[in-house]
Amino acid sequence: MTTPPPAPQAVLAPLTESAVFLSIVVPPGGEETVRGLLPDLAGLTRSVGFRVPDEALTCVAGIGSDLWDRLFDGPRPAELHPFREVTGERHTAPSTPGDLFLHVRALRMHPCFELARLVTDRLGGAARVVDEVQGFRYFDNRDLLGFVDGTENPTGRGAAAAVLIGDEDPDFAGGTYVMVQKYLHDLAAWNALTVEQRELAVGRRQLDDVELDDETKPADSHVALTTIEDPDGTEREILRDNMPFGSLERGEFGTYFVGYAATPEVPERMLTRMVVGDPPGSSDRILEVSRAVTGGLFFVPSQDLLDDPPPAPATSTPARAAATAVPAPTAPAETPGSGSLGIGSLR
């Protein structure tokens, strides 16, 4: 009997109406806490999700390149590296801090928030959330630029083939890579354009979402630059889970870009074409009004690997355990039989 391939995390789950994206930095000393948390993520997701079965709650965890080496011994995912900043003549896609990435989604925000809260609670002082984005569905899956976002995503078997690692890296089969970037839009500048100018920037019609024909679609439109092929003509795809987000207080209107792929080379090629242009100089028109302010690349292990992670690096385990030992609680012991709950004022 052949062994079934490792089960992936919920990367192929459909777009939902709400999501929380957390980028987390793990300072030295926090490794043991993270190692303890990863196999418990599925259980924490069940603790929240079982109480709201109609919410389609899922949580995907990604691990950055540096943290991977601090957490695990043995082989590492073949293509895991830190996010590579891309700079063109006029635009930059920066690389920003992040050791762990969490993509929590559900129909409504409250289960996402509750699960994210439980996870950050478990991390305690061992890690720091450096970027939190709460994404929402905007009408018929539109981004805040007003265009339907996600139409050309692969589905079914095509999605699995684009996203999941197979025999090319057998130790990490069932895993995937995720590239994330937070974009802020200059909506005033965008809305000052005519509908036709906006459609030429994106490469699709705004109202009915139909792709412009090849004669009309400019080479520096978003769709033209992100449609890529191998030399043999095979189109390469990624699975995008972009979500709008915003803050009226901060005057922020954004798109959180999330791209899953079996190799980071594919979204990296797309991003380079957007930022640098092809030919160089003809960068993506949507970058005229959209600025990337974060950038991260993470490996998303299979669910099987997350549940049973590789051993810790042999050299540093005892020292790390000592450094991260949580001091025993100092609250005075309750007298047995006193009837006290021992929680703050609930005595």
Which sequence positions are flagged as catalytic?
A: 149
Q: Which of 23, 17, 12, 10 is nearest to 243 (CA)?
A: 17
H runs (alpha helix) in the chain:
31-37, 41-49, 65-71, 109-123, 156-163, 187-191, 195-202, 222-226, 265-276, 303-307, 317-324
Contact between 302 and ligand HEM by CB under 6 A: the answer reads no
DSSP 3-state assignment of 163? helix
Contact between 218 and ligand HEM by CB under 6 A: the answer reads no
* Nearest CB to ligand HEM, comparing residues 246 and 267: 267
Segment contacting ligand HEM by CB under 6 A, of 66-74, 118-126, 218-226, 298-306: 218-226
Residues 19-48 that bind ligand HEM (CB under 6 A): none
Residues 225-244 that bind ligand HEM (CB under 6 A): 226-227, 238, 240
Q: Least distance from C-beta 224 to ligand HEM, angstroms?
A: 8
Please list, in sequence order, all residues whose beta carbon lies within 8 angstroms of the beta carbon of residue 144, skipping any fewer than 6 positions away. Answer: 138, 185, 187, 244, 246, 253, 254, 255
Q: Least distance from C-beta 231 to ligand HEM, angstroms?
A: 18
Segment contacting ligand HEM by CB under 6 A, of 96-104, 220-228, 293-301, 310-318: 220-228
Residue 141 tokens read as: 């899956």
Candidate list 257, 260, 298, 299; residue touching ligand HEM; CB under 6 A: 257
Query: How many residues interact with ligand HEM (rule CB under 6 A)?
Result: 26
Contact between 143 and ligand HEM by CB under 6 A: the answer reads yes
- CB-facing half-sphere around the CA of 291: CA atoms within 13 A: 8
Give bridge partners of residue 86 from the DSSP assignment: 93
**Residue 241 backbone phi and psi in degrees, to 5:** -125, 45
Contact between 133 and ligand HEM by CB under 6 A: the answer reads no
Give the integer Cα–Cα distance in Å for 76 and 65: 9
- Alpha-carbon Rg for the chain, nearest whole angstrom, is 22
Provide the terminal-to-terminal Cα distance of the chain, rounded to the nearest Å: 59
Residue 260 tokens read as: 């899953």
* Nearest CB to ligand HEM, comparing residues 290 and 302: 290
* Nearest CB to ligand HEM, comparing residues 30 and 203: 203
* Nearest CB to ligand HEM, comparing residues 20 and 162: 162
* Nearest CB to ligand HEM, comparing residues 71 and 148: 148
Contact between 151 and ligand HEM by CB under 6 A: the answer reads yes
Q: Least distance from C-beta 8 to ligand HEM, angstroms?
A: 20
Contact between 92 and ligand HEM by CB under 6 A: the answer reads no
* Nearest CB to ligand HEM, comparing residues 37 and 287: 287
Contact between 295 and 94 under an 8 Å Cβ cutoff? The reply is yes
Please list, in sequence order, all residues whose beta carbon lies within 8 angstroms of the beta carbon of residue 23, skipping any fewer than 6 positions away. Answer: 96, 97, 98, 100, 101, 129, 130, 131, 132, 180, 294, 296
Q: Least distance from C-beta 114 to ligand HEM, angstroms?
A: 28
Please list, in sequence order, all residues whose beta carbon lies within 8 angstroms of the beta carbon of residue 229, skipping any fewer than 6 positions away. Answer: 235, 236
Contact between 202 and ligand HEM by CB under 6 A: the answer reads yes
Minimal CB distance to ligand HEM: which residue?
Answer: 152
Contact between 134 and ligand HEM by CB under 6 A: the answer reads no
Segment contacting ligand HEM by CB under 6 A, of 28-36, 118-126, 147-155, 156-164: 147-155
Q: Least distance from C-beta 93 to ligand HEM, angstroms?
A: 8
Contact between 149 and ligand HEM by CB under 6 A: the answer reads yes
- Write the DSSP symbol of residue 256: E
Residue 195 tokens read as: 């509908």
Q: Which residues bind ligand HEM (CB under 6 A)?
A: 143, 145, 147-152, 181, 183, 202, 204, 222-223, 226-227, 238, 240, 255, 257, 259, 267, 270-271, 286, 290
